[in-house]
């Protein structure tokens, strides 16, 4: 099992007997060292998506290298932790969610492992973009740990790094998006191409622009980090139950 941490989640404090790896893949180097250790009796790899010092914006992350590095270290399942803004009522700040659909609004990112000339062109099935079995395991673990996690919902992946306009969020709501983040794609698509079981555990940091009770609210980084810190306090018990299960 591998865990990719997002904004506000740069390490897994519970990891024991940690070894650090700096793999270089055919796609280049990942965002930072991969920390491999034991958690709840299982070997787990952890990687901070934006680098441990958050030096990489969402559009510059080498998603291919990150996933290939985790796979090279033996991971077959990847749980992606993604900090998001909430659009629909189930995704209020500090909530956790496990979406089952996504819409990709990103552009100009390297979004496939079929990029280099001469590589086989894959047209992977992506109708159900997240692994059904890993999602079920996450939801069962959440129940066992007594941690509320919203089941399902559509993740809208935006380009960033700026946040969205209110009109963009209104359009995304119309499109059927329940949450919005900047890193869900191309990560999920590349994971599918690589044959990894991949699911997203979304951590709601704020109401998306204009989606909350105060339509004039300004989203600050401090609010985002505070809400992620509060929501993340629920992760150790959930991850423990997931790995034991
Ligand atoms: N929009 C996009 N990405 C985000 C947000 C948001 O409001 N909050 C945290 N990540």
Which of 7, 58, 181 most suits a substitution to test ligand 1, by most atoms within 8 Å of the C-beta? 181
CATH superfamily label, 2-244: Nucleoside phosphorylase domain (3.40.50.1580)
Burial per residue of 164-201, b for 16 or more beta-carbon CB atoms within 10 angstroms, e otherwise: beeebbbebbeeebbbbbbbbbbbbbbbbbbebbbbbb
The string of DSSP codes covering 141-184 is HHHHHT---EE--EEEE---SS---HHHHHHHHHHT-SEEESSS
- pLDDT tens digits for 98-115? 999 999 999 999 999 998
- pLDDT tens digits for 110-138? 999 998 888 888 999 999 999 999 999 99
What is the ipTM, given to two decimal places?
Answer: 0.99
For residue 207, how far is its CA from the centre of ligand 1 (angstroms)?
8
- Specify the pTM: 0.96
- pLDDT tens digits for 34-66? 999 999 899 999 999 998 887 889 999 999 999
Any ligand 1 atom below 6 A from CB of 180: yes
42 is in an annotated binding site: no
- What value does the mean pLDDT take over residues 162-187? 98
């Amino acid at each position: 099992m591998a865990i990719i941490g997002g904004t506000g989640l740069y390490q897994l404090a519970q990891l024991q007997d940690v070894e650090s790896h700096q793999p270089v893949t055919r796609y280049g180097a990942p965002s930072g060292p991969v920390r491999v250790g034991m958690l709840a009796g299982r070997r787990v790899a952890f990687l901070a998506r934006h680098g441990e010092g958050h030096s990489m914006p969402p559009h510059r992350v080498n998603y291919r290298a990150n996933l290939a590095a985790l796979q090279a270290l033996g991971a077959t399942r990847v749980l992606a932790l993604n900090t998001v803004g909430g659009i629909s009522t189930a995704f209020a700040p500090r909530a956790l969610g496990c979406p089952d659909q996504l819409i990709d609004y990103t552009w100009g990112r390297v979004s496939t492992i079929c990029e280099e000339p001469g590589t086989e062109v894959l047209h992977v099935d992506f109708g159900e973009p997240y692994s059904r079995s890993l999602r079920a395991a996450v939801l069962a673990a959440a129940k066992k740990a007594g941690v509320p996690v919203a089941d399902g919902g559509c993740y809208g992946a935006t380009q960033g790094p700026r946040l969205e306009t209110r009109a963009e969020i209104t359009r995304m709501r119309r499109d059927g998006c329940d949450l919005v983040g900047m890193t869900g794609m191309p990560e999920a698509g590349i994971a599918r191409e690589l044959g990894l079981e991949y699911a997203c555990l979304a951590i709601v940091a704020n109401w998306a622009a204009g989606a909350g009770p105060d339509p004039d609210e300004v989203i600050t980084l401090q609010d985002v980090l505070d809400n992620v810190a509060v929501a993340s306090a629920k992760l150790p018990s959930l991850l423990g139950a997931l790995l034991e299960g």
